[in-house]
Chains A and B, each alone.
Chain A
Amino acid sequence: MIRNYLKVALKVLARRKFFTFISLFGICVTLVVLMVATAMLDHLVSPHPPEVRGDRTLGIYLMAMTGERSTVSAFAGYKFLDTYIRPMAELPFVESVAVLSLPDTVVSFVDGRRLELDLKRTDGEFWRVLRFDFLEGGPFTAEDDKNARFVAVINESTRRRYFGGGPAVGKTIEADGQRFKVVGVVKDVPALRLVPYADIWVPFGTMAASTTMMGGELAFKGELVGNNFGLIVARSRADFPQIKAEVAMRFKEAEKDIPDPEQFNQLRGGAETQFEALSRLLLSQRVEESRPNRLLAVLLALAVTFMLLPTVNLVNLNLSRILDRASEIGVRKAFGASSWTLVGQFIVENVVLTLVGAAAGLIVAIATLSAINASGIIPYAQLGLNLRVFLSALGFALFFGLLSGVYPAWRMSRLHPAKALRGRSV
């Protein structure tokens, strides 16, 4: 039955080429926009290589210290991560814990040219949690971090800009007044992936020499709230609730370390996925609430709103198209086809049309994304279509096909057989 429908559908498409073209054009444009938007969102919140364990990772991203009257909102502080989160690696359901700083722009000069580099400080575990593609050399280790060795991993672009592209391992690079020995070179990572991204990665320990001392203690080492992320890799996703509960407890515990309890009395934040972190950033005033479901609902509502105009356009075209086939419908009705059969047939036809449009859209979307990558609007962007984006595009296409097929199908099924046979208007 379905095979028959498909045959008819393709025949109909081939018959009125102009109509088919404009329908496909509309479908294609609609889906390309949705696919590009989805790819960008995916790029922002889903794990990509080198975050090979991203789907099993929870992060401590946003954090706030609050009191009666004031709030400091930022990211996780080094002291908090070091004292309370790092020991979680011992727990049976935790595979590993890594600590890293947000990229910070530093300046260095090469032959009188100014180079801006994004510098990230990490611990040794970072290189085991994330699997970078090394072009030469290798990562630095926990040992290097502990002993504050001045070693660095740089990315491909930095190697090209700083050393002119030749091998860099063993050479010295200057960043922010410090000199590092290059131990490894990795492929570029997109700038929107805040967890892995940097131009140059150096051990946390090297911060020592460049930071002002506060009472003999390094300032950054005393921070509960600061400029860092913590990553907790679970043994499996099933352990997420357990990890979240454990982290929430440790937040409470850390409140006793707040330096001025007069002013601040609460630490807020928690372990979460990147999508949860984004939902909290966009939709929630309070730090401890994340609303991934609501963000998803908002995004879907936006997608549907965007589809309204294309839908009306396609409904219009579909309705005109039915007229073409009035006599076919008349014959089928006269021979006893029920309205439901006809509705089903037309919806199948429309979904086929949408999928053909989606296939064309896929090609255009890939081209658009690589154009965006090449334009350099987003530094080192590697936008592309992966399975997640492809599946959501398929979902959009099916939904769009149904949305724009239902009303014309209903109108078609109501056609009076006698009138239809005479070829009169709908």
Chain B
Amino acid sequence: MTRHLLKLVWNRKRTNALIILEIFFSFLVVFVVGTLGLWLLDNYRRPLGFSYDNVWNVAIDMRQTGDDTFTADQVATFKRILDEVQTLAPVEAAAGSMALPYSLASYNSSRDFDGRQIGYQVSEVTRDLDKVLRLDVSAGRWFEEADEALAWQPVVINARLAREVFGDEDPVGKTFIDDLRVVGVVSEFRRNGELAPPGNFLFHLKRVGHPEHRPAPNLLVRVQPGTSAAFEEVLVKRLQGVARGWSFEIKPLMEMRRTSFRTFLTPLAAAGIVSLFLLLMVGLGLIGVLWQNLLQRTREIGLRRATGASRRSVHSQVITEQLILTTLGVLAGALLVAQIPVLDLIGFINDRIFIGGLVFAMASIYLLSLLCALYPSALAARVQPAEALRYE
């Protein structure tokens, strides 16, 4: 039976080739959008490593343009700001930080570890960041006051980076590079937020008031739940009182999170809407083409009916033929996209997401193809033998 159907498909190869091509392109479109969606979903489901609610960021503008210098005066002013903030009642904890959760700017570093190049994001943070962001320290400890006097640089890394650099060994107490020594490990820290892929992270300790440590450009503040926006103004006024001429901009992390989500989801939504319309177009087109093709084969179908084929068997013939075409198109598409993991073209797509995208695309295309075949095949099955044999 299948062999016979394949023959029928082959006999109309020119028309069918175009249908296969159309299915092939549709498959690619669904695969790309589906994989992108699954990738974001996969990122979203992984633990974030910090808590963002009731945390505000105060961006500090020291009003200096350009280069990398800073003055002793600015260092002292920053210390005063940090002390001042902690005296305010609604503030539970505050810490300075170079890198900011959910922001698009990042500080990256990459070092050679016994021939392996390992990249990671870095941030310089002051001592209380663990309380502000509620970091989860899984091994060793977070920075403490005594660390500020050490002759070497204490660092805290995330578990992913610890695994990559030290493998199964216990990283606590080991030298990271140069004079950096690991004092603790946090289970996770995904600065770029839920939708970005997880990465490696390293915290340096920023010593407040130290003449060689640049004042942090961001002040992260955990406020008590229920603190109103009116406190923002109070906070800014207080800070401006301490640091004359500096400017401050407050933004809750919640708001930055929303912006970050929008940045990641807008392209997906746009691509999704466009591809939905494309699929609708393909669906309608397939219905039209199948209908027309079957109209042309009225005599063939009539003959089958006249020789005793049931409606159902005509029905299943049409649908099987369509599924054969779909399979060919999907196979071609799958062969093409299989080059991605084979040649390792796009690093961030792991096998699970790739297979998920493949299955999603296959399922959608088969479903679409089946839906499109139903109506034309029902029409074909309704053909009366007598009428069909007269058909010219």
Contacts and interface: CB of A to CB of B under 8 A. Distances in A.
B282 A25 contact: no
B288 A320 contact: yes
B67 to A, nearest CB: 9
A114 B58 CA distance: 14
B22 A316 contact: yes
B180 to A, nearest CB: 24
B249 A25 contact: no
B363 interface: no
B32 to A, nearest CB: 12
Contact of B285 (A26, A177, A219, A377): A26
Contacts of A30: 281
A330 interface: no
A18 interface: yes
B261 to A, nearest CB: 13
Nearest to B234: A112
A423 B296 CA distance: 10
A315 B249 CA distance: 57
Interface stretch (A45-53, A102-110, A379-387): A102-110
B272 to A, nearest CB: 13
B64 A18 contact: no
A117 B228 CA distance: 21
Contact of A219 (B21, B64, B236): B64
Contacts of B18: 312, 315-316, 319
Contact of B247 (A22, A106, A314, A320): A106
B21 A312 contact: yes
Contact of B284 (A22, A109, A324): A22
A212 to B, nearest CB: 5
A16 to B, nearest CB: 9
A337 to B, nearest CB: 23
A106 B249 CA distance: 8
B285 A114 contact: no
A317 B66 contact: no
Contacts of B62: 212
A225 B66 CA distance: 8
A5 interface: no
Interface in B11-27: 15, 18-19, 21-22, 25-26
Contacts of A84: none
Chain A residues touching B, range: 35 or more
Nearest to B278: A309
Interface in B253-287: 262, 266, 274, 277-278, 280-282, 284-285, 287
A323 B66 CA distance: 71
Contacts of A212: 62-64, 245
B245 A210 contact: yes
Nearest to B28: A309
A414 to B, nearest CB: 11
B239 to A, nearest CB: 12
Contacts, number: 105
A234 to B, nearest CB: 31
Interface in B127-174: none
B266 A377 contact: yes
Given A26-B284, A323-B296, A223 B19 contact: no
Contacts of B63: 210-212
B103 interface: no
B114 interface: no
A96 to B, nearest CB: 27
Nearest to A377: B266
Contacts of B236: 107, 109
Given A219-B66, A320-B288, A423 B392 contact: yes
Nearest to A176: B247
B292 A323 contact: yes
Nearest to B25: A309
B313 interface: no
A314 B230 CA distance: 60
A223 B25 contact: no
Contacts of A227: 65
B289 interface: yes
B15 A319 contact: yes
Contacts of B109: none
Nearest to A315: B18
A186 B25 CA distance: 49
B86 interface: no
A226 B65 contact: yes
A309 B232 contact: no
A114 B22 contact: no
A114 B232 contact: yes
Interface in A68-113: 72, 105-107, 109, 112-113
Contacts of B232: 114
Given A211-B65, A319-B18, 8 more contacts: A22-B287, A26-B285, A29-B278, A113-B229, A176-B247, A309-B29, A321-B292, A377-B262
18 contacts: A25-B281, A29-B278, A72-B66, A109-B233, A112-B229, A112-B233, A116-B249, A210-B245, A212-B63, A212-B245, A223-B65, A309-B29, A313-B282, A315-B18, A316-B19, A317-B289, A319-B15, A320-B288
Q: Which 9 A-B pairs have the closest CB atoms?
A: A320-B292, A309-B25, A22-B284, A313-B285, A26-B281, A29-B277, A219-B65, A312-B22, A316-B289
